[in-house]
Amino acid sequence: MAKAVSKKYEIDMCNGPLLGKILVFYVPLMLSGILQLLFNAADVAVVGNFAGKESLAAVGSTGSLTNLIVNLFIGLSVGVNVLVARFYGSGQMDELKETVQTAVATALASGALLVFVGFFVARPALAWMDTPEDVISHSVLYMRIYFGGMPFMMVYNFGSAVLRAVGDTRRPLYYLSIAGVVNVALNLIFVIVFSMGVAGVALATVVSQVISAVLVVRCLVKSDSEYRLVLEGMRISPDKLKRMIQIGIPAGMQGALFSISNVLIQSSVNSFGSTVMAGNTAGSNIEGFVYTSMNAFHQAAISFCGQNYGAMKYRRVGKILLICQGLVIGVGILMGSAAYLCGGTLLKIYTPEYEPIQYGLLRMRYICLPYFLCGMMDVMVGVLRGMGYAVMPMLVSLTGACLFRVVWIYTIFRSYHTLPCLYISYPISWALTFLVHLACFAVVYRRLLAKAEKTA
């Protein structure tokens, strides 16, 4: 019976039409991503309306720094996704079981390490970012409490990566729905009733992470499928960890180094003062919903390409790329335009003050409208990762986006010290990086098809 329940949530990615299956995979994953954003959006909205703009700026100023620290470890979950999808597609079930055990054990170990890193790094790193004096004490408190929940965040991300690899994006959505309701309720209680400020929203986020982690572990333990988690004697397989690292560390390094460029941009925003910081925080939170809606196609590309690559159905990889690109362009244009056009109303959710709203709209004009370019870039990365290429997309992304933005900040932005000059570096870097990724894929795919024909 449990076996039938598990199969009900899985998707056959290697046979039959692709469009409908990609959409079935995409919708719950997109909604899950939006729910995760609502955790932070609830933090920002409650703080902005009930604790003042300094607290709002404090919560926002930690985002890029937190991502910088966490992304290296989150990247390992990409390795989990690719390995599980490949073993599942090729029918190597013993390898699959070892990968699941290794994934959860690694999640716990990396989460425990992050607790200590976040606690000790928070203040010096925020000071290095030129966080204003009226903001930094709130930011440090928020970060230290938030990092206390890292083991649970890691377990949820690694566990959901296992489910995603076999096509199950619905159960993680259910778990996040439960955790999201708890998070919003606790935000209101801690901040409005107990006047806990940034400490309250951080604590509410940690509790929600505990709930989502417990639910995803319970799902894996109770499952009667090949990817069942056995807690007794759970251990890290050196071979599987090595392969996870080979795929995941480049992805994590890419995310971490991307965050360095975002930290530099956040530092540049900080130089304009707390009012601009508050508007930038609110605008970036709205953009996050657009990004998440597009990024779900990146995740779909990893899982679908991973399974078909494992099953040696290489021509389907090209079809997956075309479908995901068409869908991400449509979603990016539609949601990016809608977010900007409704920006004045949406920003009032985060702050009632006029000036921060105007600065939030300025940011959205330069980033939301061309956001589909970012989605196109990410889909190319997802396809290449699903095929097992980890270093190449990392190097291209770091050169075309991260390094480009850093150079931009120290050259163009230094000469024209304005917010529009800072923000326009994003769409330019997305377009350049997409074009290079596309060229790399064309070369790799042509070689793969030639190799398959020769073997046949």
Q: What is the pLDDT of residues 75-111, one digit of tens each?
A: 788 888 889 888 888 788 888 888 899 999 999 999 9
**pLDDT at residue 118 tops 50:** yes
Distance in angstroms (rounded) separating the CA atoms of residues 278 and 132: 12
Q: What is the gyration radius of the CA atoms in the chain, in angstroms?
A: 21
Helix residue spans in 342-390 (DSSP H)? 343-347, 354-367, 372-386
Would you say residue 343 lies in a domain?
A: yes
Percentage of the chain exceeding pLDDT 90? 28
Distance in angstroms (rounded) separating the CA atoms of residues 24 and 10: 10
Would you say residue 234 lies in a domain?
A: yes
The rounded mean pLDDT for the chain is 85
Q: Averaged over 258-278, what is the pLDDT?
A: 76
CB 298 within 8 A of CB 382: yes
Give the pair of three-digit tokens for residue 170. Answer: 């619905």
State residue 37's pLDDT score: 74
CB 343 within 8 A of CB 279: no
State residue 272's pLDDT score: 79
Q: Which residues span the domain enclosing 357?
A: 13-455
Residue-wise pLDDT tens digits, 306-356: 889 888 888 899 999 999 999 999 999 999 999 999 888 888 887 778 888
The 3-class secondary structure across 328-342, one letter per residue, is HHHHHHHHHHHHHHC
Distance in angstroms (rounded) separating the CA atoms of residues 133 and 354: 23
Residue-wise pLDDT tens digits, 398-421: 888 778 888 888 899 888 888 888
Local confidence band at 41 (pLDDT 50, 70, 90 cut-offs) = low
State residue 39's pLDDT score: 67
Local confidence band at 294 (pLDDT 50, 70, 90 cut-offs) = very high
**pLDDT at residue 6 tops 60:** no
Local confidence band at 194 (pLDDT 50, 70, 90 cut-offs) = confident
> Higher confidence at residue 71 or residue 206?
206
- The answer to whether the Cα torsion of 169, 174, 175, 180 is positive or negative is positive
Distance in angstroms (rounded) separating the CA atoms of residues 85 and 30: 19
Which residues, 6 or more positions from 375, have their beta carbon under 8 angstroms from its beta carbon?
291, 294, 295, 297, 298, 328, 329, 331, 332
Which residues, 6 or more positions from 372, have their beta carbon under 8 angstroms from its beta carbon?
294, 328, 329, 331, 332, 333, 336
Distance in angstroms (rounded) separating the CA atoms of residues 403 and 392: 15
CA 318 to chain centre: 24
Helix residue spans in 51-169 (DSSP H)? 53-61, 63-90, 93-128, 133-147, 150-165
Residue-wise pLDDT tens digits, 121-178: 888 887 877 777 777 787 888 888 989 999 999 999 999 989 988 888 899 889 988 9
Distance in angstroms (rounded) separating the CA atoms of residues 285 and 326: 25
State residue 456's pLDDT score: 62
Distance in angstroms (rounded) separating the CA atoms of residues 303 and 86: 8
Number of separate domains in the chain: 1
> Higher confidence at residue 268 or residue 148?
148
Query: In terms of Cα–Cα distance, which of 199, 173, 175 is closest to 186?
Result: 199
Neighbouring C-beta atoms of residue 253, cutoff 10 Å: 19
The CA-to-CA distance between both ends of the chain, in Å, stands at: 40
State residue 259's pLDDT score: 67
**pLDDT at residue 439 tops 80:** yes
State residue 91's pLDDT score: 82
Give the pair of three-digit tokens for residue 347. Answer: 């920003």
Give the pair of three-digit tokens for residue 87. Answer: 């073993």
State residue 284's pLDDT score: 83
Q: Averaged over 392-397, what is the pLDDT?
A: 88
State residue 320's pLDDT score: 95
Residue-wise pLDDT tens digits, 380-393: 999 999 888 888 88
Would you say residue 6 lies in a domain?
A: no
Query: In terms of Cα–Cα distance, which of 236, 301, 267 is closest to 61?
Result: 267
Answering whether pTM is above 0.95, one says: no
The structure tokens 């990092």 sit at: 147
Distance in angstroms (rounded) separating the CA atoms of residues 119 and 111: 13
**pLDDT at residue 1 tops 50:** no
Mapped onto helix, strand or coil, the DSSP state of residue 227 is coil
Mapped onto helix, strand or coil, the DSSP state of residue 168 is coil
**pLDDT at residue 213 tops 90:** yes
CB 379 within 8 A of CB 298: yes
| Helices and strands counted in the chain (H then E) | 20, 0
Would you say residue 30 lies in a domain?
A: yes
CA 156 to chain centre: 13
Q: Averaged over 35-62, what is the pLDDT?
A: 69
Give the pair of three-digit tokens for residue 169. Answer: 């994006």
State residue 336's pLDDT score: 93
Would you say residue 313 lies in a domain?
A: yes
Would you say residue 4 lies in a domain?
A: no
Q: Averaged over 242-262, what is the pLDDT?
A: 78
Distance in angstroms (rounded) separating the CA atoms of residues 419 and 361: 12
CB 368 within 8 A of CB 291: no
Q: Averaged over 420-425, what is the pLDDT?
A: 88
Would you say residue 255 lies in a domain?
A: yes
> 325-349: b or e for each residue (b if 16 or more CB lie within 10 Å)?
bebbbebbeebbeebbeebeebbbe
CB 152 within 8 A of CB 289: no
Residue-wise pLDDT tens digits, 8-28: 778 888 898 999 999 999 999
Helix residue spans in 189-273 (DSSP H)? 198-222, 238-270
> Higher confidence at residue 44 or residue 342?
342
Which residues, 6 or more positions from 78, have their beta carbon under 8 angstroms from its beta carbon?
161, 247, 248, 251, 252, 302, 385
**pLDDT at residue 64 tops 70:** no
Distance in angstroms (rounded) separating the CA atoms of residues 288 and 290: 5
